[in-house]
Amino acid sequence: MISRIHSTTVIVTDQDRALDFFVNTLGFVKMADVPMSAEMRWVTVRPAGANVELALGTPQWFSGRAYGGPTGISLVTPDIDAEYAALTAKGVRFKGPVEMMPWGSKATWFSDPDGNEFFLVEESTAS
């Protein structure tokens, strides 16, 4: 029986830049940064206290697959307005302001330096 999801991957062009963004801008914790070969590294991050890791993979992992665009990854925060203000002050690019979604959640979307889009939703409404 499958017991949990270990990780999911976003494709990035520069693992060091992505690692800096996720750790120093978003406040994630670096979980792994180990060589896989002379040309490849296994780099993962996750929000403090989370169980699922985000692998920062390069295009060569996926036969040159493009990066950027929707990831399908939702990130949760207890105070989306404060998080939006803090991340905006750090230069994070948002698609628009926080808004109330038709289903009752406060949410918005932002992009990492490679244009990978993430959904940010407030915890109290994220059920």
Q: What is the residue whose two structure tokens read 């963004």?
A: 21
Q: How many CA atoms lie within 13 A of 13 on its CB side?
A: 8
Nearest to 115 by CA among 39, 18, 7: 18
Q: How many CB atoms lie within 10 A of CB 104?
A: 8
Residue 79 has pLDDT above 80, yes or no: yes
CA dist 84 → 14, 33, 91, 96, 103 (Å):
25, 28, 11, 10, 20
Using 50, 70 and 90 to split pLDDT, how confident is the model at 18?
very high
Q: Residue 27: helix, strand or coil by DSSP?
A: coil
pLDDT reported for residue 61? 78
pLDDT reported for residue 50? 96
Using 50, 70 and 90 to split pLDDT, how confident is the model at 38?
confident
Q: How far apart are CA 123 and CA 18, in angstroms?
A: 25
Q: What angle do CA 17, 65, 107 make, to 5 degrees?
A: 60
The length of the chain in residues reads 127
- pTM of the entire predicted model: 0.86
* Segment 119-126 mean pLDDT: 80
Q: How many CA atoms lie within 13 A of 121 on its CB side?
A: 15
Using 50, 70 and 90 to split pLDDT, how confident is the model at 123?
confident
At 49-65, the pLDDT tens digits run 999 999 999 988 777 67
CA torsion through residues 114, 67, 126, 23, sign: negative
Residue 126 has pLDDT above 60, yes or no: no
Question: Residue 32 is encoded by which pair of tokens?
Answer: 């792994």
- What mean pLDDT is reported for the chain? 92
